[in-house]
């Protein structure tokens, strides 16, 4: 489905829409005159869309084993998560918790104002507006559960979180409410839009949220509670399969092409994206993802850096790891590898564009003297690797990027289908079909038919595919939590490039630069602490165990 520009930003909302509308701010829940007719209801819904997750989710991949932050205190202390030093008083935790409830309150407030409006003969439009808002409501409750477990469940009437005296509800109850909302959305949203409505939430997006909720529920039951609930897995598979059955989405041929501004309005793979608009609604991911001395401006911050473990985890084109493949060459380590490796990262020795227009090798070793060198306060990272994904070095002023942020892609549909079926019905033919589509685009061999009934082997393939397919899209952290492997992958140090400049770049046995010590205490850290300020304001809120 081709996505056209749909303006989500509230600033754009009130400048681009009818100037005569004297609408009160949506955040002011005490005002009864925010909107009063169908036209104004449509305008008001834009402010609900403005809460969809956006480019800040890129930062959050640093909570996982994929990436680290150059300065842990950035984003209110987000970088402390994978170091195991987060506290209930951290700004980032409060922003995640209180921000989610602010978004929930906005959606609920919209629904209360929508209800009394008479749409006349166009009642179907009113139902669609409700379905769009309920999708957003479900999304934020789901994310709260992923982070905090049991959370207060506020339904139908918006209240201020700090003024409420509502205890935590069991997460199962919260997820059931989220599923009620998303089921309503799936039943009442169109499969596509036309004209200026393209880019809105569709039936497929609702099905993807349903699939993700059931995938979480099934994973937690199996890997945390030792209870394999086949019904949950099957429900996740059914939701993903329903997206496939729509026959509206396909994988784009070039993985990297999805993450450019040129693809914003012409992308068959994106199911839902937070959209940005040139010169109006922009972000600064290229500045954050780039080191100094690289790109059109050369003023990158190197805010987050991929880890050596992630780089080394990409397969060779024979489907084997770099430790077992005869194709791997320590002197040319990026040849004969998964295509996504060079499409996702800036890698040592690979030419990059400089501010003067020249193309010279990326040289991050501390001895290089280049702006991108590790440890350089003017834009050096910590590992020697940086990002190309979401990073247009050619045409976009770094702090004015308008590359859309994908929330759901068809690749995720296929990988959810494969994962859920592998757990519910190992050997199902759709597992191989789905995996093969994703792997072939990456230049990897199809799954060996002889192992398709080997649940453990296929599970490992699926997990590796998810890791590499969704780098920086804020999927990996939630994956390692639900699979209960965070205690394994986050209890090892994060390394960077080889420390001796004379060692071959790809020699994985050579000494490496230590980028970060990491720690994960199980089971404590599988849930975040409730922010202390929330507990102080509401004595009915009980802290998660151990925090």
Could you tell me how far CA 94 lies from the centroid of its own chain? 19
Could you tell me which residue, 137 or 20, shows the higher pLDDT? Answer: 137
Distances (CA, A) of 312 to 327, 347, 466: 14, 12, 15
pLDDT of residue 28: 40
- According to the per-residue pLDDT averaged within each range, which of 90-104, 242-256, 380-394 is highest? 242-256
Are 129 and 135 a contacting pair, CB within 8 Å?
no
Of 303, 327, 332, 278, nearest to 506 (Cα)?
A: 332
Token pair recorded at residue 481: 């939590």
Secondary structure (DSSP) of 140-153:
HHHHHHHHHSSB--
Using CA atoms, how far residue 117 sits from 47, 113, 114, 197, in Å, is 18, 7, 6, 21
Confidence of residue 275 (pLDDT cuts 50, 70, 90): confident
Nearest Cα to Cα of residue 174 among 213, 201, 206, 126? 213
Q: How confident is the model at residue 21 (pLDDT cuts 50, 70, 90)?
A: very low
Give the rounded distance of the alpha carbon of 260 from its chain centre. 16
Average pLDDT of span 10-31: 35
pLDDT the model gives residue 392: 79
In this predicted structure, the answer to whether residue 22 has a pLDDT above a threshold of 90 is no
Render pLDDT for 397-412 as a digit per residue (tens, 0 to 9): 667 889 999 999 999 9
For residue 17, pLDDT beyond 80: no
Give the list of residues 6+ apart from residue 460 with CB closer than 8 angstroms, or none.
none
Q: What share of the chain in percent tops pLDDT 90? A: 78
Interval 122-127 mean pLDDT = 98
Confidence of residue 218 (pLDDT cuts 50, 70, 90): very high
Contact present, 453 and 426 (Cβ < 8 Å): yes
Per the CB < 8 A criterion, the answer to whether 371 and 230 are in contact is no
pLDDT of residue 292: 93
CA angle, 248 then 468 then 423, to 5°: 70
As a whole number of angstroms, the distance between CA 358 and CA 345 comes to 19
pLDDT tens-digit map of 488-513:
999 999 999 999 999 999 999 999 99
Please tell me whether residue 202 adopts helix, strand or coil conformation.
coil
Tokens of 356: 């003067």
Phi-psi region of 101 (alpha: psi -120 to 50; beta: other; left: phi over 0): alpha
As a whole number, the mean pLDDT across the chain is: 91
pLDDT exceeds cutoff 60 at 1? no
**CB-based contact 243:207 (threshold 8 Å):** yes
Question: Is the pLDDT confidence value at 416 over 80?
Answer: yes
How do residues 45-71 score in pLDDT, each as one tens digit?
999 999 999 998 988 999 999 999 998
Contacts of 405 (CB under 8 A, 6+ apart): 53, 54, 55, 57, 58, 273, 274, 275, 276, 283
Distances (CA, A) of 73 to 59, 205, 293: 12, 34, 24
C-alpha span between 44 and 93 (Å, rounded): 29
Report the pLDDT averaged over residues 351-374. Answer: 95
pLDDT band at 5 (very low <50, low <70, confident <90, very high): very low
Quote the CA–CA distance of 174 and 150 in Å, as a whole number: 8
Phi, psi dihedral angles at 470 (to 5 degrees): -115, 25
User: Would you say residue 25 has pLDDT above 50?
Assistant: no
pLDDT at position 296, please? 81
User: Does 30 have pLDDT greater than 60?
Assistant: no
How sure is the predictor about 76, in pLDDT bands with cuts at 50, 70 and 90? low
Question: Which helix (DSSP H) or strand (DSSP E) does residue 68 occupy?
Answer: strand 67-69
The alpha carbon torsion through 14, 17, 19, 22 (nearest 10 deg) reads: -60
Both structure tokens of 135 = 């999708």
Residue 237 clears pLDDT 70, i.e. is over it: yes
Beta bridge partners of 360: 352
Could you read off the pLDDT of 183-215 as tens digits, one per residue? 999 999 999 998 888 889 999 999 999 999 999
What pLDDT score was predicted for residue 4?
Answer: 34
Residue 176 has pLDDT above 50, yes or no: yes
Residue 16 clears pLDDT 60, i.e. is over it: no
DSSP 404-467: -EEEEEHHHHHHHHHHHHHHHSTT-HHHHHHHHHHHHHTT-PPPPGGGTT-HHHHHHHHHHHHH
DSSP string, 167-191: PPBPHHHHHHHHHHHHHHHHHHS-S
Of 6-10, 199-203, 302-306, 379-383, give the lowest mean pLDDT range. Answer: 6-10
- Read off the pLDDT of each residue in 214-234 and give the average, rounded to a whole number: 99
Average pLDDT over residues 351-370: 95
Helix (H) or strand (E) holding 360: strand 359-361
Q: Please tell me the predicted confidence (pLDDT) of residue 396.
A: 56
**Region of residue 484 (left: phi > 0; alpha: psi -120 to 50; beta: else):** left
CA angle, 389 then 98 then 485, to 5°: 55
Q: What is the mean pLDDT of residues 392-396?
A: 68
pTM: 0.93
pLDDT at 455 over 90: yes
> Mean of the pLDDT values across residues 90-103?
94
CA–CA separation, 231 vs 218, rounded Å? 8
pLDDT at residue number 284: 87
Using a pLDDT cut of 70, give the percent of the chain over it: 92
More confident residue, 544 or 6: 544
Backbone angles phi, psi at 313, to 5 degrees: -80, -10
- Residue 38 pLDDT: 95
Name the token pair of 300: 């990158």
Of residues 305 and 164, more confidence is placed in 305
Question: Of 80-84, 199-203, 263-267, 517-521, which range is least confident?
Answer: 263-267
- The answer to whether 362 touches 257, Cβ cutoff 8 Å, is no
Exposure pattern of 426-436 as b/e (b: 16+ CB <10 Å)? eebebbbebbb
């Amino acid at each position: 489905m081709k996505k056209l520009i749909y303006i989500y930003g509230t600033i754009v909302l009130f400048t681009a829409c009818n100037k005569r509308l004297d609408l009160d701010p949506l955040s002011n829940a005490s005002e009864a005159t925010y909107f009063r007719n169908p036209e104004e209801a449509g305008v008001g819904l834009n402010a609900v869309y403005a809460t969809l997750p956006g480019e800040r989710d890129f930062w959050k991949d640093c909570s996982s084993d994929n990436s680290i932050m150059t300065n842990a205190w950035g984003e209110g202390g987000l970088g402390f998560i994978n170091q195991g030093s987060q506290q209930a008083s951290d700004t980032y935790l409060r922003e995640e918790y209180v921000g989610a409830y602010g978004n929930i309150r906005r959606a609920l407030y919209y629904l209360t104002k929508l209800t009394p409006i008479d749409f006349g003969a166009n009642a179907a439009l009113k139902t669609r507006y409700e379905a769009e808002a309920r999708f957003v409501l479900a999304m934020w409750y789901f994310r709260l559960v992923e982070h905090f477990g049991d959370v207060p469940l506020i339904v139908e009437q918006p209240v201020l979180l700090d003024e409420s005296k509502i205890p935590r509800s069991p997460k199962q109850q919260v997820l059931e409410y989220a599923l009620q909302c998303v089921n309503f959305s799936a039943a009442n949203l169109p499969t596509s839009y036309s004209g200026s409505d393209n880019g809105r939430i569709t039936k497929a997006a609702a099905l993807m949220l349903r699939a993700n909720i059931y995938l979480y529920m099934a994973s937690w039951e199996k890997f945390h509670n030792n209870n394999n609930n086949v019904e949950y897995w099957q429900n996740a598979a059914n939701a993903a399969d329903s997206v496939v059955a729509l026959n509206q989405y396909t994988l784009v041929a070039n993985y990297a092409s999805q993450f450019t501004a040129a693809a914003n309005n012409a992308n068959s793979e994106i199911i839902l994206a937070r959209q940005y608009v040139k010169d109006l609604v922009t972000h600064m991911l290229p500045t954050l993802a780039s080191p100094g001395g690289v790109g059109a401006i050369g003023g990158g911050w190197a805010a987050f850096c991929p880890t050596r473990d992630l780089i080394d985890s990409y397969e060779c084109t024979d489907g084997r790891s770099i430790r077992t493949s005869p194709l791997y060459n320590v002197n040319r380590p990026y040849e004969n590898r998964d295509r996504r490796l060079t499409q996702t990262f800036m890698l040592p020795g690979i030419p990059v564009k400089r501010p003067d227009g020249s193309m010279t090798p990326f040289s991050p070793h501390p001895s290089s003297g280049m702006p991108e060198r590790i440890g350089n306060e003017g834009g050096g990272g910590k590992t020697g690797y940086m990002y190309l994904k979401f990073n247009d070095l050619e045409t976009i002023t770094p702090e004015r990027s308008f590359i859309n942020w994908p929330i759901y892609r068809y690749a995720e549909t296929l990988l959810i289908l494969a994962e859920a079926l592998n757990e519910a019905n190992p050997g199902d033919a759709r597992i191989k079909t789905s995996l093969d589509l994703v792997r072939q685009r990456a230049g990897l061999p199809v799954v060996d038919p002889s192992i398709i009934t080997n649940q453990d082997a296929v599970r490992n393939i699926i997990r590796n595919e998810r890791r590499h397919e969704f780098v920086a899209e804020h999927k990996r952290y939630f994956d390692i939590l639900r699979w209960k492997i965070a205690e394994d992958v986050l209890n090892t140090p994060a390394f960077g490039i080889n420390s001796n400049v004379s060692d071959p770049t790809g020699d994985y046995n050579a000494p490496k630069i230590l980028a970060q010590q990491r720690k994960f205490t199980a089971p404590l850290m599988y849930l975040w602490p409730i922010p202390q300020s929330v507990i102080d304001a509401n004595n009915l809120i009980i802290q998660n165990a151990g925090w």
